[in-house]
């Protein structure tokens, strides 16, 4: 038996769309027969049978997206041969695949004939990695494509729904990972950030410019956006930026990390972000644009209003209500049925046993 895996089509993408599957379960194929056709944002390729055999455990159908290294199918010598799907299926080590690199890094490496495989690194190679390998400082070298335009190209027409992220700080990194892990039907086309010293890329995602680029993105068919600003110390800012995205015509999907637990009876508006380890229990109501951060517990029947940020480790007992734009600090515990007003800030580690009026600031020593 031989496993056939999803190959890497280009160095910057770890998944591809299965455009067409040309075989069926149990079909006998010869070596070189085309099993399926894959397509990434930059390439289309056929996957051929490496040997003759019967197609078994076919894992994909046309129109699905597949991660690089996932088993496509097994090829067995006979139809009677057992296929142990649950057994470890380690992809063969690629002999010619390049490490993942940003577009700038790939262009720079190509111009200066740098073998990406020769650069020690973790994660995606960036322009800085290439410059360090060449012994140059940032800005010393520029690929020809970088000189031609200050705004990276946006590939809107490729597979997956295009989504743009607003904000290029630390919160944006978490959102990028959450989209990549939990919403593989989405494709991040870029980041928009209004800071004059914004970076050129974040985790391999290009920064396209400031908010003036929204109109062009909408014209090119980008309908979805995610807010990449946590704004723990100034939560009203998140409300303002959320409204800006809505006025620009974007739809903000709810983003839920695959390692979060959200009960099916939960009601929520749009643009909510629920991070890894969070538990949102039965009959909870979330407004719009809330952040339920890592390891937060929102017990049954809580009501969380628009733009609220529950920071890591907050614990809300059943029936708690939190008003709009409030920030609940790390490790805060809120007793059963307590009502927290709007624009409240509760400091880290506080224990809240009674109601809190609007615009109050609660510090641990006063609670």
The CATH code belonging to domain 161-248 is 3.40.50.20
Is a pLDDT exceeding 60 seen at residue 89?
A: no
Band of pLDDT at residue 365, cut at 50, 70 and 90: low
Is a pLDDT exceeding 90 seen at residue 135?
A: no
Residues noted as catalytic: 300
Which distant-in-sequence residues (6+ apart) come within 8 Å of 348 by Cβ? 311, 329, 330, 331, 332, 364
Long-range contacts: 215-218, Cβ < 8 Å, 24+?
215/248, 216/154, 217/154, 217/156, 217/164, 217/189, 217/190, 217/192, 218/248, 218/249, 218/250
Which range of 113-127, 222-236, 349-363 scores highest in mean pLDDT? It is 349-363
The pLDDT value given to residue 234: 65
Is a pLDDT exceeding 90 seen at residue 98?
A: no
The pLDDT value given to residue 227: 93
Percent of the chain whose predicted confidence (pLDDT) is above 90: 42
Band of pLDDT at residue 223, cut at 50, 70 and 90: confident
Band of pLDDT at residue 127, cut at 50, 70 and 90: low
Band of pLDDT at residue 230, cut at 50, 70 and 90: confident
Least confident of 51-65, 73-87, 92-106, 159-173: 92-106
Was 309 annotated as part of a binding site?
yes
Is a pLDDT exceeding 70 seen at residue 111?
A: no
What integer best gives the mean pLDDT of the chain? 81
The arithmetic mean of pLDDT across residues 164-174, rounded, is 92
Is a pLDDT exceeding 60 seen at residue 142?
A: no
Cβ atoms 62, 74 nearer than 8 A: no
Cβ atoms 311, 330 nearer than 8 A: yes
**Structure tokens belonging to residue 88:** 């470890």
Band of pLDDT at residue 112, cut at 50, 70 and 90: low
How big is the chain, counted in residues? 367
What are the C-alpha distances in Å from 305 to residues 209, 265, 292, 297, 337? 31, 17, 12, 16, 15
**Could you read off the pLDDT of 59-87 as tens digits, one per residue?**
888 877 788 778 888 899 988 888 876 54
Cα angle 101, 103, 108; round to 5: 85
Assigned fold of 254-366? UDP N-Acetylglucosamine Acyltransferase; domain 1 (2.160.10)
Q: Which residue has the higher pLDDT, 135 or 243?
A: 243
Q: Which residue has the higher pLDDT, 13 or 12?
A: 13
Cβ atoms 38, 68 nearer than 8 A: no
For residue 309, which phi and psi values (nearest 5 degrees)? Answer: -120, 115
The arithmetic mean of pLDDT across residues 185-212, rounded, is 90
Least Cα distance to 270 among 237, 234, 227 occurs for: 227
d(CA 112, CA 90): 34
Helix, strand, or coil (residue 267)? strand
User: Is CATH 3.20.20.150 the right assignment for the domain spanning 2-76?
Assistant: no
Which sequence spans correspond to the domains of the chain? 2-76, 161-248, 254-366
Band of pLDDT at residue 20, cut at 50, 70 and 90: confident
Quote the pTM value: 0.58
d(CA 367, CA 354): 9
d(CA 190, CA 310): 27
The arithmetic mean of pLDDT across residues 102-122, rounded, is 69
Cβ atoms 272, 290 nearer than 8 A: yes
The pLDDT value given to residue 149: 39
Is a pLDDT exceeding 80 seen at residue 270?
A: yes
**Could you read off the pLDDT of 281-302 as tens digits, one per residue?**
999 999 999 999 999 999 999 9
Is a pLDDT exceeding 70 seen at residue 6?
A: yes
CA atoms 318, 319, 324, 326: torsion sign? negative
The pLDDT value given to residue 202: 92
d(CA 119, CA 266): 47
């Amino acid at each position: 038996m031989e496993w056939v895996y999803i190959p890497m089509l280009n160095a910057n993408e770890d998944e591809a769309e299965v455009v067409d599957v040309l075989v069926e379960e149990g079909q006998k194929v010869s070596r070189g027969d085309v099993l399926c056709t894959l397509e990434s944002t930059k390439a289309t390729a056929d996957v051929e049978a490496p040997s003759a055999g019967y197609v078994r455990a076919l894992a994909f159908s046309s129109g699905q997206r597949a991660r690089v290294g996932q088993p496509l199918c097994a090829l067995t010598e006979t139809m009677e041969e057992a296929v142990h799907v649950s057994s470890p299926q380690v992809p063969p080590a690629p002999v010619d695949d390049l490490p993942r690199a940003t577009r700038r890094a790939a262009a720079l490496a190509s111009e200066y004939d740098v073998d990406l495989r020769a650069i020690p690194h973790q994660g995606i190679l960036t322009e800085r990695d290439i410059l360090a390998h060449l012994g140059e400082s940032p800005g010393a070298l520029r690929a020809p494509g970088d000189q031609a335009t200050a705004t990276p190209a946006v590939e809107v027409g490729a597979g997956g729904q295009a989504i743009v992220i607003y904000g290029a700080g630390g919160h944006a990194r978490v959102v990028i990972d959450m989209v990549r892990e939990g919403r593989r039907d989405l494709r991040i086309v870029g980041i928009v950030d209004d800071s004059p010293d914004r970076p050129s890329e974040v985790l391999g995602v290009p920064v396209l410019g400031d908010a003036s680029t929204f109109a062009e993105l909408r014209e090119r068919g980008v309908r979805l956006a995610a807010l990449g600003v946590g704004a723990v110390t100034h939560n009203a800012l998140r409300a303002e930026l959320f409204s800006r995205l809505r006025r620009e015509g974007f739809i903000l999907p709810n983003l839920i990390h695959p390692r979060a637990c959200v009960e099916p009876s939960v009601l929520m508006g749009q643009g909510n972000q629920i991070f890894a380890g969070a538990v949102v229990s039965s009959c909870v109501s979330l407004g719009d644009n809330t952040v339920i951060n890592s390891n937060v517990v929102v017990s049954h029947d809580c009501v969380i209003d628009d733009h609220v940020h529950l920071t890591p480790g907050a614990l809300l007992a059943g029936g708690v209500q939190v008003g709009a734009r409030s920030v609940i600090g790390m490790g805060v515990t809120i007793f059963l049925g307590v009502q927290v007003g709007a624009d409240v800030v509760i400091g880290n580690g506080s224990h809240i046993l009674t109601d809190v009026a609007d615009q109050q600031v609660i510090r641990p020593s006063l609670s």
